[in-house]
A and B are shown apart, each in its own frame.
Chain A
Amino acid sequence: KAGVTQTPRYLIKTRGQQVTLSCSPISGHRSVSWYQQTPGQGLQFLFEYFSETQRNKGNFPGRFSGRQFSNSRSEMNVSTLELGDSALYLCASSLDGGATNEKLFFGSGTQLSVL
């Protein structure tokens, strides 16, 4: 069974641009979560989607948004990029995210650099 796939692996953008990152969960998984990882702030939760609906959202500005498609694939979008958005963006999938001890499967991430 294929793991969580994130594309692209690396991305370079300039300030003010927008970017879209993609995540394909493990087959059969319906919950997709996004995390931002930076050296200064560590791993921070962005949002979680289930059945095309955002179920949970972290403390990030509205420039960060996401969506989930009917096949459970998810995209996240960052508009008006700032230098501080440079980070590794990790996607994680799980069966339904409902059980609090449910295992999350992480992708390798998209490394975004904002110049």
Chain B
Amino acid sequence: AQSVTQLGSHVSVSEGALVLLRCNYSSSVPPYLFWYVQYPNQGLQLLLKYTSAATLVKGINGFEAEFKKSETSFHLTKPSAHMSDAAEYFCAVRPSGSARQLTFGSGTQLTVLP
């Protein structure tokens, strides 16, 4: 079964610094990949998704992710962190074929320091 691994359950950055959240997938076939964000006491919101049209995917709120097949990675980045980016971030994979559910990583809690 396809899965994703998020390295680092907690990441702290200073306001204005680069945000890098890591996600690696396990699949011999490029899967469908997503990044979701969850703010406290809220549901999940889609940041971006990989559709195979381009390896660099731009999402909302200034986030982007690069699909690297050779490294089986789909890391999330943002050039300059803002206090409002503090949240939990989930990488997810949706297997190709008939299965329609998302398999989520364990999440990374992002703290932005003033």
Give A contacts to B, CB under 8 Å. 4, 31, 33, 35, 42-45, 48, 55-56, 58, 90, 92, 97-98, 100-101, 103-109
Contacts and interface: CB of A to CB of B under 8 A. Distances in A.
B49 interface: yes
Interface of B: 32, 36, 41-46, 49-51, 90, 94-96, 99-107
Contacts of A42: 104-107
Nearest 7 A/B pairs, CB to CB: A106-B43, A45-B101, A43-B104, A106-B44, A100-B32, A108-B43, A101-B32
Secondary structure at chain B's binding surface: helix, strand, loop or mixed?
Answer: loop
Contacts of A109: 42-43
Contacts of B43: 4, 90, 92, 106-109
A56 B51 contact: no
Interface of A, secondary structure class, is: strand
Nearest to B103: A45
Contacts of B94: 100-101
A57 B49 CA distance: 23
17 contacts: A4-B43, A31-B100, A33-B102, A35-B102, A35-B104, A42-B104, A42-B106, A43-B90, A56-B101, A97-B100, A98-B100, A100-B96, A101-B32, A101-B49, A101-B50, A106-B43, A107-B43
